[in-house]
Structure 1
Amino acid sequence: MSTASANRTRFAGVLAATLVLTTGIAGAGTDAAAPGSRPAPSAAPAPAPARVTSAWLPHWGGEAAYQDALAHAAQLHTVSPFWYQATSETTIAPHPGAGDQRIVEGFHSRGIKVVPTVTETLDARAMADLLNDPTRRTAHVDTLVRLAESPGYDGVDLDYERMAETDDEDLRGQVRLGYNTLASELCRRLHTIGKQCVVTVLPYTRDSGHAYDYAHLGGVVDRLRIMGYNLHHAEGAPGPLSSLAWYDEFLRHATNAVPVDRIEVALPAYGWDWTVGSTDRAKHLTTLEAEALRLDKKATYRLDPESGTPHFTYVDQGHTHEVWYQDAKGVAAHLAIMRTHGVRGSGLWALGFEDPALWGVLAEGWER
């Protein structure tokens, strides 16, 4: 059987299960009870869903994103506020709202760990120089540890992506080597003070993720978060943000290199709106915005069996637009691939973006 045929077969079964999860309809309605029959005993309360999900809190998401997390606290073990960016070895600049103690305390009150995310503004060359200079690297570790010691923080999530944006194989190797050393030193220091060490990485496939040494990182971190999105991105051609075959590819590499209980796959709750034939950057849409746009344009909802993602087209001012995004039905298909690799850890980019039905799919998906 071809890969495409296998994916279609696997997806068909998952889609049928998803229909039950999102609509509650498994088949024809049940018959009414016969007269005089004894009512069925009350069902036992459903157990709380397992806390197997983490999520990012965008600093621009406002109160809605915070309330979204609280509403689904029973499923979240960690929230990573997207609050900081490293601009040098000793400088970490805060985004608006960084360190908001109302948010930190609110999450703690619901049993959620707070592990803020730090991104970097330095390019591959600058990061290679920093990471491979022992003095500068130690200074950077010191700076990150001080951040982790801020009130209420339970660790740090390093989301260093810009350093991976190079086609120079030698430079990429320098970044990879230096990042291994940084991660080892940082995680050791964080563990000494009882803090979590989380690293977010690009998916490792034939075409991406080669700036990250999964085996080394997986040996030192508490969790390795894999960004399961942007297979097609804003500056490229239209297409799905993720696909079943792509998940299978990067999970094969990840599970061969990293203990499976340390892996999280971050699921997308957004999409891109491309203008067909244009070289302009695609417009970002949350899943909520994408679905609202589809309804407004009266566009037909389509669920692509090859990728397991929804999409639609519409015409505006004479220009054809192609929109690909992710919703609960698509996530169900991707969870099935994750299960085949034994990966239970999931993440979400980002709170306030998602299809509300996603939470039910996540809860049901991990009970299988």
Structure 2
Amino acid sequence: MKVLLTGGSGFIAAHCVDILLKHDHDVVFTVRSDEKGQKILKNHPGTPSSKLSYVIVKDIAQENAFDEAVKSDLPFEAVLHTASPFHFNVTDVKKDLLDPAIIGTTGILKAVKKSAPSVKRVVVTSSFASIINPAKHPEKYSEEHWNPITQEEAVQNPSNGYRASKTFAEKAAWDFVEKEKPNFQLSTINPPLVLGPVVHYLNSLDGINTSNERIANMIQGKCKEKGLPPTGTFLWVDVRDVALAHVKAAEVPDAAGKRFFVTAGYMSNGEIAQIIKKNFPDLVDKLPTNLDSDRPKDLFGYDNSRSKEVLGIKYNNLEETIKDTVKSLLAVVEIQQHGYQKSCHIDKD
């Protein structure tokens, strides 16, 4: 199968590249610059350009951004849309968060409908943010739940804006398929906090994805004085399981037309710190003394059965994920200190 993967240098996408190649698919990924594209190619030495190549899409929030990217001499059969706009400063929630997320998502769907009739499946990275109802949690979250956030609430602050951007973008995708009746079927992947090893061509802790930042801060001693920050989101998933879910959603016929709530279960910053303390004695002096978990006893439930039954996901456990993540981050530190690149890519056991 030939697959177009958007946002190729992203945390989840980089693992998608690995799994797509392992599953013997041909991959074209989008990046914003030649530098990023070359970096990814260099880290797959020996992979011919027929199996792995890239196209430049500078700004996914522009109308028609993907029109050329979806065209190919050997036609695409699937698209994995993991790209999402990234902004350093949110001054206007609608302009900086909502519009780009919605335009980026509907833009790829319009381009596929217009210029890639061979595509049969589009898989979009959504989020638990489009499922959660922070004001009134149900007894158990599943794919049937939607965040009820309104346009008015969305623009109140960046946190609301982020959740709304994910919710509105995913709803826009499902609405597009319902109204436009395109040549493809849609699946969405809805992960909560995504943790896991960083791929080996990330060589700066400044570039760590937001969810792994909490682990990077712990091993750098940034929590030692102030203590562990509040956990915030108590559900998590391993990035390799999220990437596999994207690939399987493109491969499995029964995944068509479905959302997938992908989560391995509960975690807290205290539990993460305890795992680091147990497995990395050299890092104990970087950690605060109080490693208690702030996870409430009466937390809402979750139902991840669809991802297991339809996609066949067998979730990584928290200890293995944290161990692999810390090893990969320590290797990044070594690269920074010694100025050479040491491979720290860690596969699933």
Q: TM-score range by the shorter chain?
A: 0.3 to 0.5
Give the strand-richer structure, 1 or 2.
Answer: 1
TM-score normalised per structure 1: 0.39
Greater gyration radius = 1
TM-score normalised per structure 2: 0.41
